[in-house]
Amino acid sequence: MSHGRLKRELHSEELLEIIFDYASRITIENNLDRLLMLMEDMGRDMTVADRCTLWLYDEKTDELLARIPHGMEKIRVPATSGLVGYVYQTANSLVIDDAYEDKRFCAELDVKTGYRTKSVMMIPLTNKQNQRLGVYQVINKLTADEVFTAQDVKYLSLAASYTAQALEAVLTNIEMEEAQREIIFKMGEIGEVRSKETGAHVKRVAEYAKFLAMKCGLSEEEADLIKVASPMHDIGKVAIADAILNKPGKLSEEEFIAVREHANIGYNLLKNSNRSILKAAAVIAKEHHERWDGKGYPEGLSGDDTHIYGRIVSVADVFDALATDRPYKKAWNAEKILAHFKKERGCQFDPNLIDVFLANMDGFLQIKEQYED
Ligand code: C2E
Ligand code: SIN
Ligand code: SIN
Ligand code: SIN
Ligand code: FE
Ligand code: FE
């Protein structure tokens, strides 16, 4: 290790400062990747290490999973192999002055990243019920003697006992959201089956909506929320008669009044949940047929009184309805679709969104090809 990078041990005020600084950020973080990054930075700074890696146990594959430092790529190791596997299995902490002297060490990651591991310290990461969540690992002590001390074990254990709680809260949330995602998608498919549309329609609408959300500057998180919530947009169609939904020709005025109910029906099915995905799904179900000019349904909202999620899914839904065959119409070609969206800019649709759509129509057509029925 180059001497230019040598550091000294922390004074206790410096340590406290680090803990307070990270603790305040960790407490409010609800994104797993960012939380892991914060925990890694905190572990690294508290022990004056060069690197810190958090290995999380993946039940499905019986592996330990980590992010490669300074990248988004993931690495997996069997939960029984290497130093990290040893710590996970035995729940003992481990301090090693030179990893290459230890036959349990598996240099695969060093080979892959060109990094040279020397001193290593690892401690098991457990929750309050003593279930093992993974392994907290720091590599290469940056002080002159280059080795981790008993004091470092104490510091990292302190960080671990604190961060494990934040981590578990996020993981629980992710599990619940995964379950919700599955339910939402299944329910969305049911709605579509009733109206002779395949699951491909809900998939495409979800992809178009996320694509448009990203292109109009929403965060990736929000775009993902729209993506997972939008498959439910027509769930209210479950309550509409087959004879109407699958009618080959134009609807009568009465039939169209009945169809329009699907927006409120969907909203009422979803509105009582406190979960973020279902809340977003409720807004989308209710507002995806509102129009920019206020002539839509069910409320006749205009402009940005319609939630941005509703405005986005409206574009995505109509694009897919026009670009594919429906029981009552043949698919339109790209040119005709383009003309329609230009004509309806500022009438049916949010003009800003249409500008974004028009600039990115290739992306829409690509998604359409990718998710053909
Ligand atoms: P959908 O088939 O998913 O269509 C969604 C939206 O795409 C429609 O909402 C409309 O805004 C747009 N769209 C679809 N096809 C066309 C078209 O040929 N021309 C134009 N200008 N826009 C089109 P909308 O109109 O509120 O309809 C809601 C739902 O009602 C439709 O969902 C469909 O299930 C049903 N529906 C609407 N019109 C008819 C019809 O003439 N016959 C039948 N059988 N069903 C219809
Ligand atoms: C090991 O556990 O043996 C390798 C882990 C690492 O290199 O980070
Ligand atoms: C779809 O794949 O769901 C579109 C087919 C249709 O709208 O009839
Ligand atoms: C907004 O209106 O919330 C911004 C996104 C858009 O409409 O283009
Ligand atoms: Fe609809
Ligand atoms: Fe639809």
Q: Please identify, by atom number, the ligand 1 atom nearest to the C-alpha of residue 327.
A: 44
CB 327 less than 6 A from any atom of ligand 1: yes
pLDDT at 267: 93
Q: Please identify, by atom number, the ligand 2 atom nearest to the C-alpha of residue 86.
A: 2
Overall number of domains in the chain = 2
Asked if the structure places residue 259 within a domain, the reply is yes
- Report the distance separating Cα 41 and Cα 22, nearest Å: 9
- Asked whether the predicted pLDDT for residue 1 surpasses 50, the reply is no
Burial readout 123-153 (b: 16 or more C-beta within 10 A, e: otherwise): bbbbeeeeeebbbbbbbbbbbeeebbeeebb
The per-residue pLDDT of the chain, averaged, comes to 89
CB 216 less than 6 A from any atom of ligand 4: yes
Task: Give the Å distance between the CA of 205 and the centre of ligand 3.
Answer: 11
CB 232 less than 6 A from any atom of ligand 4: no
Amino acid at 130: N
Least confident of 28-32, 46-50, 148-152: 28-32
Is the domain of 244 the same as that of 351? yes
* Atom 5 (ligand 3) nearest CA: 197
Higher-confidence position of 267 and 31: 267
The domain in which residue 28 lies consists of 12-172
pLDDT at 198: 57
- State percent of the chain over pLDDT 90: 60
Asked if the structure places residue 3 within a domain, the reply is no
pLDDT at 194: 56
Single residue among 139, 172, 205 that ends a domain in this structure: 172
CA angle 160, 165, 169 (to 5 degrees): 140
Asked if the structure places residue 81 within a domain, the reply is yes
pLDDT band at 104 (very low <50, low <70, confident <90, very high): very high
Q: Which tens digit of pLDDT belongs to each residue from 261-294?
A: 999 998 988 888 777 888 999 999 999 999 999 9
Q: Which tens digit of pLDDT belongs to each residue from 335-363?
A: 999 999 999 999 999 999 999 999 999 99
pLDDT at 4: 58
Is the domain of 212 the same as that of 356? yes
Task: Give the Å distance between the CA of 198 and the centre of ligand 3.
Answer: 5
Residue of 259, 290, 333, 343 to mutate, ligand 1, most atoms within 8 A of C-beta: 259
- End-to-end Cα spacing for the chain: 57
Asked if the structure places residue 78 within a domain, the reply is yes
Single residue among 172, 203, 232 that ends a domain in this structure: 172
* Atom 7 (ligand 3) nearest CA: 326
Least confident of 5-14, 43-52, 96-105, 346-355: 5-14
Is the domain of 207 the same as that of 101? no
- Token pair, residue 213, equals 């959300």
Please state the rounded mean pLDDT for residues 59-82.
87
CB 160 less than 6 A from any atom of ligand 1: no
Q: Which tens digit of pLDDT belongs to each residue from 170-227?
A: 888 787 777 777 777 767 666 665 555 557 888 899 999 999 999 999 999 999 999 9
Residue of 195, 201, 246, 256 to mutate, ligand 1, most atoms within 8 A of C-beta: 256
- State percent of the chain over pLDDT 70: 94
On whether the CB atoms of residues 310 and 302 are closer than 8 A, the answer is: no
- Report the distance separating Cα 129 and Cα 291, nearest Å: 52
3-state secondary structure of 52: strand
Active site residue 237: yes
DSSP for residue 324: S
Higher-confidence position of 2 and 249: 249
Please state the rounded mean pLDDT for residues 113-140.
92
- Asked whether the predicted pLDDT for residue 91 surpasses 90, the reply is yes
On whether the CB atoms of residues 83 and 94 are closer than 8 A, the answer is: yes
Asked if the structure places residue 181 within a domain, the reply is no
pLDDT at 240: 87
pLDDT at 269: 83
Is the domain of 49 the same as that of 165? yes
pLDDT at 2: 46
- Asked whether the predicted pLDDT for residue 310 surpasses 90, the reply is yes
Is the domain of 151 the same as that of 63? yes
Is the domain of 241 the same as that of 161? no
Higher-confidence position of 30 and 333: 333
On whether the CB atoms of residues 43 and 82 are closer than 8 A, the answer is: no
Higher-confidence position of 177 and 236: 236
Is the domain of 209 the same as that of 348? yes
Check which CATH number belongs to the domain holding 165 and give it. Answer: 3.30.450.40
Check which CATH number belongs to the domain holding 296 and give it. Answer: 1.10.3210.10
pLDDT at 277: 84
pLDDT at 124: 94
Residue ranges in 48-131 assigned as alpha helix (H): 82-90, 108-113
3-state secondary structure of 124: strand
CB 76 less than 6 A from any atom of ligand 1: no
pTM flag (> 0.75):
no
Residue of 350, 357, 360 to mutate, ligand 4, most atoms within 8 A of C-beta: 350
pLDDT at 113: 83
